[in-house]
Homo-oligomer: A and B are copies of this chain.
Amino acid sequence: MQPKLADVAKLAGVSVTTVSRVINERGYLSAATKEKVFSAMQQLNYQPSLAARVLQGKQFKLVGLIFASVENPLIAQVVEEIENRLFARGYKAIICNSMDNPEKEQQYLKMLMANQVDGIITGSHNEGIKEYKMSGLPIVSYDRYFQTKIPTVSSDNQAGGELAARVMIEKGSKRFMLVSGSLEKRAPNNRRLTGFEHVAEEHGCSVQMVAFPFNSTPNIRRATLREKLLASQPDGIFCTDDQTALLCIQEARKAGMRVPEDVQVIGYDGSDYVQEYHPELSTIVQPVGDIADLLVRLLFNRLQKNDDELLDKYVLPIKLLQRDSLRK
Query: Which residues of A are in contact with B by a Cβ distance under 8 Å?
Result: 2, 45-52, 54-55, 60, 62, 65, 69-71, 73, 76-77, 79-80, 83-84, 87, 92-97, 104, 107-108, 110-111, 113-116, 134, 218, 243, 246-247, 250, 272-273, 276-279
Contacts and interface: CB of A to CB of B under 8 A. Distances in A.
Given A47-B113, A55-B49, A94 B95 contact: yes
B84 A79 contact: no
A51 B55 contact: yes
A273 B79 CA distance: 17
Contact of A94 (B54, B94, B134, B278): B94
A215 to B, nearest CB: 14
A182 to B, nearest CB: 16
A221 to B, nearest CB: 10
Contacts of A272: 71
Contacts of A45: 134
A112 to B, nearest CB: 8
B115 A2 contact: yes
What copy number does this chain have within its complex?
2
A136 to B, nearest CB: 8
Given A80-B69, A83-B95, A49 B115 contact: yes
Contacts of A47: 110, 113-116
Contacts of A107: 87
Nearest to A111: B92
Contact of A73 (B2, B73, B80): B73
B73 A79 contact: no
A93 B95 contact: yes
A115 B54 CA distance: 12
A154 B108 CA distance: 30
Given A55-B51, A69-B80, A276-B218, A95 B97 contact: no
Contacts of A51: 50-52, 54-55, 60, 115
Nearest to A221: B276
Contacts of A92: 94, 96, 111
Given A115-B2, A218-B277, A79 B55 contact: no
Contact of A84 (B52, B77, B97, B279): B97
A17 to B, nearest CB: 20
Contacts of A80: 69-71, 97
A83 B54 contact: no
Given A47-B115, A47-B116, A87-B108, 5 more contacts: A2-B115, A49-B115, A51-B51, A87-B96, A87-B104
